[in-house]
Amino acid sequence: MLDGIIPLFKEKGMTSFDCIRKMRGILKMKKIGHSGTLDPNVDGVLPICVGKGTKVVDYLMNSGKIYQGSITLGFSTTTEDLDGEIVDMKPLDNPISNDKINNLLESFVSDDLVQIPPMYSAIKVNGKRLYEYARNNEEVERPEHHVKIHYFKQIKASFYDSQKKEQTIYFEVGCGKGTYVRTLAVDFGRKLGLPAVMSKLTRIKSGNFTIDQTVKLSDVEDAVKNNDINNVLYSIDHALKNYKHVDMSLNQWKIVQNGGFLRPSELQIDDKKCVLSYNNDIKALYYFSKDKREFKPEKMFSNK
């Protein structure tokens, strides 16, 4: 049984579930999940959790994400990206200055940015996914979505196409979980009074993995054939490395095995959470309970 995380490079044209399905076939195991869906036309980092690694999905997602891509001004689509049908066009007679672009991008930086999710998304409203309403041409009120935008900046000068009268902006954004970058693109255009679309997107960091650490499905297949899967598999500790780590004594391990509490004086730490290991094997993540004044289990990874 494999346990850990494989930083997969998801290629364009595949759904995130396609990656899970193929990975199950390659690894011959069912207990596999991913940390953060990528749309079919988006490529980049997709951490795949296997075995006990599925228990750290939430911690991987909480680490934030970084994307690089482009926004094209001059037209908009049903899906907010190039997969949809064009619904609005407005030619740019003159390009937007780079200073104005920079200031507008900066205006999105927030610890609590409100987004309205795109109709072509998997969020459920009244038990039905938004894309199902969209496909049936049904209108439905979409819930507000609160996200964090750490930074939003240009990575090179924009390009103005004088023939098409469109302008493309090349950006990088660091954001929290649940951010719709497609919607950032559309809202950016809206601030200029222009239709806009996300014309390209690559996730370059997710779950503390950067794009240069990723492997393709073919690399995982080769690793299995060559019996060196550990070369592409990271420990679950990769998702927990920001927490204080404590090596337990045998007596402490016996308490933790049964889901017991530990006093701060026993652990000799003052952090709010800590990773507990025994014999170099991660066993649990504990958090400090203010009401009990003790550390309690938040997530158990093994009691053996």
Residues with catalytic roles: 39
Question: How many other CB atoms sit within 10 Å of the CB of residue 212?
Answer: 10
What is residue 63's three-state secondary structure?
coil
**In 126-254, at which residue ranges do the beta strands (DSSP E only) sit?**
128-129, 145-161, 166-175, 196-206, 209-210, 244-247
The DSSP call for residue 52 is G
User: What is the rounded CA–CA span in Å between residue 48 and residue 57?
Assistant: 9
**In the chain, at which residue ranges do the beta strands (DSSP E only) sit?**
4-10, 32-34, 43-50, 65-73, 75-77, 86-89, 110-115, 124-125, 128-129, 145-161, 166-175, 196-206, 209-210, 244-247, 273-278, 281-289, 294-300
- Tokens coding 174: 């660091």
196 and 63 Cβ atoms separated by less than 8 Å: no
Sequence-ordered list of residues with C-beta below 8 angstroms from that of 296, at least 6 positions apart, any chain: 261, 286, 287, 288, 289
